């Protein structure tokens, strides 16, 4: 019997977070390693959502706005604030990550129009880059975007950011954890460099929130956006959040003047008067059904404690890296993610010339008795193995790596076409 197997079993036995697995919908025939893309369903969410639909909507109808719904967004903001190291009145929950980024980009570029450089990098999420490009084309025509080039789409040297920023830099925007390689920035160091140059920063923490310790306040971050359907387990397309540091809130203005950003929306005045505080970044009637579904996942994270989750993520990543080096590197795989845990989020990326078809074979085993393993694929040839400490076990990681090695050795992937599916 493999020593890795024994080690995995022992690590699971001593894992103080192991029981959280039972709070999620679980298929014993499947190993799910894609929680960094869509988190699992917390069992309690089924009950919570049914209650909102059947009772709050079904029976209480319009009365539910005052009874349960008007404070739902800010109640969730309080929970998210604890997860990302912010104050409750610095977080707004609603809309999507991309829309929230649009609002904050517009607001911060308008604040200091005399500066025209925007800096980001090629590790950032493509949607973020598109939004900046669109704003320059449509609104900030004198601005220019500089996309810094990473080392092999994996790593960025902080010195390179330092060298790129100058007094004409209006804004820096980066993903804290890169969706591709899992590279993690030193938030504090970058914030210092940005502020030394009197510039502003927007962090996209979508790929970090819920798996990595984030200290927005302690590191003096200006602004951030993030999503709730990855490590926060809020469900497909669940509402996102934004963060604006308290002292910046009065200086920044939501570009979309709408009634939920109004000081007194239910006075129905004909003129817009913006709300003060974080609520000024709202737009519309909150999406109650999907907001309600976020709560149980957040409660589980808070109960487990984000530091404990981070510790387990580091331990599981170290175990997974050892497995990859033992089983997969000899078969032609390359470990892509940084080896230093301080520079890594909660997924491990590997690559192989046949990554796309190996990923397909994992999800669609030819022999139906094989365990289903679900990671995901990102171009050009990355397989991402997501570690979600609340429900990933060490045995899951062991079995997944052994399965990848079997697929590669037997060339089971050759039964699949290289033609790409719409969602990979
Ligand atoms: C998942 C993710 C998003 C998602 O954006 P949506 O507007 O919610 O579709 C944005 N940024 C990053 C870094 C992500 O990982």
User: Domain ranges in the chain?
Assistant: 3-32+305-415, 46-302
> What is the best residue among 125, 214, 346 to mutate for testing ligand 1's pocket, by most ligand atoms within 8 Å of CB?
125
CA of 226 to the centre of ligand 1 (A): 7
**In the predicted model, what is the mean pLDDT of residues 254-274?**
95
For the Cβ of 95 lying below 6 angstroms from any atom of ligand 1, the answer is no
CA of 328 to the centre of ligand 1 (A): 30
First-last CA distance in the chain: 34
Q: How far apart are CA 94 and CA 92, in angstroms?
A: 7
State the average pLDDT for the chain.
Answer: 96
CA of 286 to the centre of ligand 1 (A): 19
**In the predicted model, what is the mean pLDDT of residues 190-207?**
98
For the Cβ of 203 lying below 6 angstroms from any atom of ligand 1, the answer is no
Sign of CA dihedral 149, 157, 172, 377: positive
pLDDT at 422 over 80: no
> What is the best residue among 101, 207, 231, 347 to mutate for testing ligand 1's pocket, by most ligand atoms within 8 Å of CB?
207
- Report how far apart, in Å, the C-alpha atoms of 347 and of each of 14, 130, 163, 409 are: 22, 24, 29, 24
Residue 83 near residue 243, CB atoms below 8 Å: no
For the Cβ of 281 lying below 6 angstroms from any atom of ligand 1, the answer is no
**pLDDT at position 6:** 97
Q: Where are the alpha helices (DSSP H) in 1-148?
A: 3-13, 43-51, 64, 72-84, 97-111, 126-138
For the Cβ of 225 lying below 6 angstroms from any atom of ligand 1, the answer is no
For the Cβ of 125 lying below 6 angstroms from any atom of ligand 1, the answer is yes
**In the predicted model, what is the mean pLDDT of residues 48-59?**
98
Q: How far apart are CA 335 and CA 350, in angstroms?
A: 5
CA 227 to ligand 1: nearest atom: 8
Residue 109 near residue 135, CB atoms below 8 Å: yes
Residue with tokens 């998210």: 80
> For 304-340, b where at least 16 C-beta lie within 10 A, e where not — what string?
bebeebbebbbbbbebbbebbeebbeeeebebbbbee
**pLDDT at position 287:** 98
- Return the number of other C-beta atoms located less than 10 Å from residue 164's C-beta: 17
For the Cβ of 229 lying below 6 angstroms from any atom of ligand 1, the answer is no
Residue 187 near residue 176, CB atoms below 8 Å: yes
For the Cβ of 204 lying below 6 angstroms from any atom of ligand 1, the answer is yes
What count of residues does the chain have? 424
Report the catalytic residues: 125, 204, 229-230, 384
**Which residues, other chains included, contact 11 with Cβ-Cβ below 8 Å and sequence gap of 6+?**
315, 319, 394
Estimate the crossing angle of helix 394-410 against helix 355-363, to 10 degrees. Answer: 120
Residue whose Cα lies nearest atom 14 of ligand 1: it is: 206
**In the predicted model, what is the mean pLDDT of residues 245-261?**
97
The tokens of 109 are what?
């570029």
**pLDDT at position 177:** 98
**In the predicted model, what is the mean pLDDT of residues 386-408?**
98
CA of 123 to the centre of ligand 1 (A): 13
**Of 224, 178, 288, which is closest to residue 81 (Cα–Cα)?**
224
DSSP assignment of 217-241 equals TTTT--EEEE-SSSTT---TT---E
Residue whose Cα lies nearest atom 4 of ligand 1: it is: 97
Write the Ramachandran bin of 250: left for phi over 0, alpha for psi from -120 to 50, otherwise beta: alpha
pLDDT at 421 over 80: no
CA of 175 to the centre of ligand 1 (A): 10
**In the predicted model, what is the mean pLDDT of residues 382-390?**
97
Per residue in 121-175, pLDDT (tens digit) is 999 999 999 999 999 999 999 999 999 999 999 999 999 999 999 999 999 999 9
Its CATH architecture, for the domain 46-302, is 3-Layer(aba) Sandwich (3.40)
Sign of CA dihedral 135, 138, 141, 145: positive
Per residue in 305-364, pLDDT (tens digit) is 999 999 999 999 999 999 999 999 999 999 999 999 999 999 999 999 999 999 999 999
For the Cβ of 129 lying below 6 angstroms from any atom of ligand 1, the answer is no
**In the predicted model, what is the mean pLDDT of residues 66-94?**
98
Sign of CA dihedral 323, 328, 329, 330: positive
Q: How far apart are CA 258 and CA 282, in angstroms?
A: 8
CA of 92 to the centre of ligand 1 (A): 16
**pLDDT at position 1:** 54
β-strands 169-175, 241-244: how paired? Answer: unpaired
CA 230 to ligand 1: nearest atom: 1
For the Cβ of 127 lying below 6 angstroms from any atom of ligand 1, the answer is yes
Is domain 3-32+305-415 classified as CATH 3.90.1150.10? yes
The verdict on pTM exceeding 0.95 is: yes
pLDDT at 262 over 80: yes
The tokens of 262 are what?
């109004």
The tokens of 29 are what?
């025939």
Q: At 419, is the pLDDT very low, low, confident or very high (cuts 50, 70, 90)? A: confident
Q: At 369, is the pLDDT very low, low, confident or very high (cuts 50, 70, 90)? A: confident
The tokens of 325 are what?
């080096």
Per residue in 222-247, pLDDT (tens digit) is 999 999 999 999 999 999 999 999 99
**pLDDT at position 233:** 98
For the Cβ of 97 lying below 6 angstroms from any atom of ligand 1, the answer is yes
Element containing residue 62 per DSSP (H, E) = none
CA of 102 to the centre of ligand 1 (A): 12
Q: How far apart are CA 86 and CA 77, in angstroms?
A: 10
pLDDT at 30 over 80: yes
């Amino acid at each position: 019997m493999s020593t890795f197997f024994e080690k995995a079993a022992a690590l699971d036995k001593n894992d103080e977070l192991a029981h959280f697995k039972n709070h999620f919908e679980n298929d014993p025939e499947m190993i799910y390693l894609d929680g960094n893309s869509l988190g699992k369903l917390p069992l309690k969410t089924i009950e919570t959502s049914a209650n909102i639909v059947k009772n709050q909507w079904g029976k209480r109808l319009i009365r539910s706005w005052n009874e349960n719904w008007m404070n739902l967004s800010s109640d969730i903001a309080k929970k998210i604030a604890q997860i990302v190291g912010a104050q409750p009145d610095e977080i707004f929950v609603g809309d999507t990550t991309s829309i929230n980024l649009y609002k904050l980009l517009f607001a911060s570029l308008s604040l200091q129009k005399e500066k025209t450089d925007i800096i980001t990098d090629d590790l950032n999420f493509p949607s973020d880059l598109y939004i900046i490009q669109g704003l320059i084309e449509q609104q900030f025509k004198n601005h220019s975007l500089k996309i810094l080039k990473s080392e092999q789409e994996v790593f960025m040297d902080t010195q390179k950011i330092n060298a790129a920023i100058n007094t004409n830099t209006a804004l820096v925007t980066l993903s804290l954890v890169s969706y591709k390689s899992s590279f993690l920035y030193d938030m504090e160091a970058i914030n210092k460099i940005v502020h030394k140059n009197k510039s502003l920063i927007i962090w996209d923490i979508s790929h970090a929130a819920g798996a990595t310790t984030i200290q927005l306040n302690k590191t003096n971050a200006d602004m951030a956006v993030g999503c709730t359907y990855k490590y926060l387990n809020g469900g497909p397309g669940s509402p996102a959040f934004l963060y604006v540091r308290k002292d910046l809130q009065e200086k920044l203005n939501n570009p979309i003047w709408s009634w939920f950003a109004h000081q007194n929306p239910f006075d129905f005045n004909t003129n817009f008067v913006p709300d003060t505080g974080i609520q000024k970044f709202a737009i519309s009637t909150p999406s109650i059904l999907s907001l309600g579904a976020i709560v149980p996942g957040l409660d589980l994270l808070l109960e487990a404690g984000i530091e404990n989750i981070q510790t387990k993520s580091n331990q599981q990543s170290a175990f997974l890296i050892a497995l990859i080096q033992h089983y997969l590197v000899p078969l032609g795989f390359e470990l892509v993610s940084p080896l230093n845990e301080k520079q890594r989020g909660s997924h491990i990326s590997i690559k192989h010339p046949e990554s796309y078809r190996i990923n397909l074979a994992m999800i669609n085993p030819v022999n139906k008795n094989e365990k289903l393993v679900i990671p995901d694929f990102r171009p050009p040839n990355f397989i991402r193995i997501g570690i979600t400490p609340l429900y990933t076990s060490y045995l899951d990681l062991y079995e997944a790596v052994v399965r990848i090695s079997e697929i590669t050795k037997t060339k089971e992937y050759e039964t699949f076409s290289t033609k790409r599916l719409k969602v990979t």
